[in-house]
Amino acid sequence: MKLFVFLFLFLLFPAPHAAQEACELQSRTAPLLLNLQIGMLPEQVQSFFGKDLKIKIKKRGERTFFQNFIKKPAPNSLRGVRALYLRFFDRRLYQIEVFYERRSDLQTLENLTAALSSQMNFPASNWQIKYNRAEANCGEISLVADNILNPRIELTDETVRAKIEELREKNKK
């Protein structure tokens, strides 16, 4: 009888650390990163940055824009950014990867994931931390963070990434 009561209470009140919060994001509802939205066209991204960056993505397919700010400081719109990757597929932004300057308040991966959860409205319980890499999946959207060299964040539309992988596999054959 005690075992039955224990199991009943265990099922009724699950351990809070074991449960992930329900989280369903799509590209149009993904959080902004650097004020960029997953799904934007290159022209929309360019209009946000103005003269600070020259983003030229004309062709369809998979394209990458890269800019680093190692030898020269980042413009005001990218203050604190060390390097930036913007990945497009069929002229739509599907991944934003940002390397930041080191910050005293983000010394650990736990500090970084807590800040991201708060700022980007990703449930803190959804983070899976393994091998100094944190990942949170939220519907079609994933957020990856690490703090190996510098704080790094990667926001991705996983449906587009899966489509790209499928096309790569087809092209190998």
Neighbouring residues of 160: CB distance < 8 A, sequence distance ≥ 6: 27, 89, 92, 94, 95
In a domain, 165, yes or no: yes
How many Å apart are CA 64 and CA 89, to the nearest integer? 9
In a domain, 14, yes or no: no
Assign residue 138 a region: left if phi > 0, alpha if psi is -120 to 50, beta otherwise?
beta
In a domain, 38, yes or no: yes
In a domain, 5, yes or no: no
In a domain, 159, yes or no: yes
In a domain, 19, yes or no: no
Mean pLDDT of 54-78: 88
Assigned token pair, 53: 């960056």
Domain enclosing residue 61, as ranges: 26-172
By mean pLDDT, which of 9-18, 67-76, 133-142 is the weakest?
9-18
Mean pLDDT of 10-14: 36
User: Per-residue confidence at 139, pLDDT binned at 50, 70, 90?
Assistant: confident
Assigned token pair, 61: 């397919």
How many Å apart are CA 136 and CA 140, to the nearest integer? 11
Residue 64 has pLDDT above 80, yes or no: yes
User: Per-residue confidence at 23, pLDDT binned at 50, 70, 90?
Assistant: low
- Name the phi and psi angles at 17, rounded to 5: -75, -15
Residue 3 has pLDDT above 50, yes or no: no
In a domain, 88, yes or no: yes
In a domain, 121, yes or no: yes
Mean pLDDT of 130-144: 90
Residue 17 has pLDDT above 80, yes or no: no
- Domain total in the chain: 1
User: pTM value?
Assistant: 0.81
User: Per-residue confidence at 5, pLDDT binned at 50, 70, 90?
Assistant: very low
Instruction: Spell out the SS3 assignment of 71-137.
Output: CCCCCHHHCCEEEEEEEEECCEEEEEEEEECCCHHHCCHHHHHHHHHHHHCCCHHHEEEECCEEEEE
